[in-house]
């Protein structure tokens, strides 16, 4: 793994052909250099033969730089036309899992609002796969893990790994720097070569925004789809799960694991599996929503325990989703800090009794708390509502 970022023999060949209008002598010299990297019909790198698909990719790059006309890549021959009888008679392979019934092979997204514990959850998943331990009480398929951590420094990663009790021998490689995946060939090329050589079971990219050029138009459906399609193909070609960490839009009245992903629907159209982490301010627990092409939608109640080993599964979630009216009151109360029912009602242009009933429903769900404050100099009191404070043990 440490050698994956070093310049390889094939890279040296690639760099040597950076000429614009080659003469016959230059072409002969370049071909000789390319052949110098070949042994027995296989292109060699510093650590042995380069996979065939990478050789084809480099050949196309060489031809383009030498001024040759583009050559089409060999077509992938697969059956695309079926009769109903053929479909019934064909035994298709079952989905391959990283976490059984929860995370299959392919391109996946773990999204949530800032500071809700996405990186903790992703690192916990990576540690479980690398060691073969259960994840949120689900069985995993053990295998190598590549964790591309673009937001956390090594010191923080060390502290979190120690908190999770990850052994030194865990089969996990962590990289805190990686070339952009859509700005020049190096980032995607490095990832492709790493996956071909090391065959990881799981690749985590934390975060998607940091891994791509900041000018990537995620709100454009075509741009978002194009950016993620290469990762989708890599994941399926190497029977691996690539999990990208992403953000949610500003929360609305209803939760939707797909629609809440930040940016265009082009993202959701490409990914195979979507995880959404939802955590209310002031509550220790959270809900992990899961959906995808090969899995049944489900909601898991999880809780972060700062004194144990991170996120723990509680049960199948019985999630109290806010109604549109509850969400409106909750957001205004969050903005005001604390207020009584009358003050909120005046701001919303609604009756005090209606707003008070809404606040009491939110209180019953544990999302709003009450306290008494002095109302007058004579000692009168009134009840005000507020969002419960953050717990120090939260991620």
Per residue in 80-101, pLDDT tens?
A: 789 999 998 988 878 899 999 8
Q: Is 287 exposed, middle or buried (0-12, 13-18, 19+ CB in 10 A)?
A: buried
pLDDT band at 18 (very low <50, low <70, confident <90, very high): very low
Whole-number average pLDDT of the chain:
78
Higher pLDDT among residues 201 and 189, named by residue: 201
Give the per-residue pLDDT at 318. 47
Evaluate if residue 394 carries a pLDDT over 60. Answer: no
Q: Is 60 exposed, middle or buried (0-12, 13-18, 19+ CB in 10 A)?
A: middle
Q: Return the DSSP state at 137.
A: T
Q: For each of the domains in the chain, give its residue range(s) and CATH number, in order of start.
A: 2-66 (no CATH), 97-316 (3.40.50.300), 324-386 (1.10.10.10)
Q: Residue 326 forms beta bridges with which residues?
A: none
Evaluate if residue 3 carries a pLDDT over 80. Answer: no
Measured between its terminal Cα atoms, the distance across the chain in Å is: 30
Structure-derived torsion over alpha carbons of residues 286, 292, 298, 303, reported in degrees to the nearest 10? -20
Give the per-residue pLDDT at 24. 54
Percent of the chain predicted with pLDDT > 70: 72
pLDDT band at 9 (very low <50, low <70, confident <90, very high): very low
Evaluate if residue 7 carries a pLDDT over 50. Answer: no
pLDDT band at 390 (very low <50, low <70, confident <90, very high): very low
The C-alpha atoms of residue 121 and residue 204 are separated, in whole angstroms, by 11
Distances (CA, A) of 103 to 10, 91, 132, 135, 294: 35, 22, 15, 11, 9
The C-alpha atoms of residue 345 and residue 352 are separated, in whole angstroms, by 5
pLDDT band at 370 (very low <50, low <70, confident <90, very high): confident
Evaluate if residue 226 carries a pLDDT over 80. Answer: yes
Evaluate if residue 48 carries a pLDDT over 70. Answer: no
Q: Which of 183-192, 280-289, 307-316, 331-340 has the lowest mean pLDDT?
A: 307-316
Give the per-residue pLDDT at 43. 46
Mean of the pLDDT values across residues 234-255? 85
Evaluate if residue 73 carries a pLDDT over 50. Answer: no
């Amino acid at each position: 793994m440490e050698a994956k970022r070093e310049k390889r023999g094939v890279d040296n060949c690639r760099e040597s052909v950076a000429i614009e209008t080659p003469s016959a002598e230059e072409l002969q010299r370049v071909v000789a250099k390319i052949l110098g990297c070949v042994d027995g019909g296989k292109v060699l790198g510093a650590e042995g033969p380069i996979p065939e698909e990478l050789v084809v990719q480099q050949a196309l790059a060489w031809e383009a730089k030498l001024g040759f006309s583009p050559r089409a890549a060999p077509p992938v021959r697969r059956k695309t036309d079926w009769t109903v009888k053929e479909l019934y008679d064909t035994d298709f392979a079952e989905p391959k899992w990283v976490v059984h019934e929860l995370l299959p092979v392919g391109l996946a997204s773990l999204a949530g609002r800032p500071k809700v514990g996405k990186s903790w959850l992703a690192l916990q998943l990576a540690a479980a796969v690398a060691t073969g331990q259960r994840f949120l009480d689900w069985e995993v398929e053990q295998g190598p893990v590549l964790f591309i951590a673009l937001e956390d420094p090594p010191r923080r990663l060390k502290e979190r790994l120690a908190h999770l009790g990850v052994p030194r021998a865990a089969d996990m490689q962590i990289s805190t720097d990686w070339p952009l995946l859509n700005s020049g060939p190096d980032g995607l090329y490095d990832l492709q070569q790493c996956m071909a050589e090391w065959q990881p079971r799981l690749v985590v990219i934390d975060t998607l925004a940091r891994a791509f050029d900041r000018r990537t138009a995620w709100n454009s459906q075509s741009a978002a789809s194009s950016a993620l399609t290469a990762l989708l193909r890599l994941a399926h070609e190497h029977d691996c799960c690539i999990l990208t960490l992403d953000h949610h839009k500003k929360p609305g009245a209803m939760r939707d694991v797909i629609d809440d992903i930040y940016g265009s629907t082009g993202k959701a159209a490409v990914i195979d599996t979507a995880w959404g982490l939802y955590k209310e301010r002031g509550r220790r627990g959270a809900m992990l929503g899961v959906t995808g092409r090969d899995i049944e939608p489900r909601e898991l109640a999880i809780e972060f325990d700062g004194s144990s080993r991170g996120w723990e599964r509680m049960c199948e979630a019985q999630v109290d989703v806010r109604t549109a009216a509850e969400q409106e009151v909750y957001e205004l109360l969050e903005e005001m800090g604390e207020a009584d029912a009358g003050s909120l009602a005046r701001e919303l242009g609604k009756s005090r009794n209606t707003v008070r009933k809404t606040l009491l429903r939110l209180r019953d769900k544990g999302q709003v708390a009450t306290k008494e404050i002095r109302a007058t100099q004579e000692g009168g009191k009134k009840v005000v509502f507020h969002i419960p404070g953050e717990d120090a043990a939260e991620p």
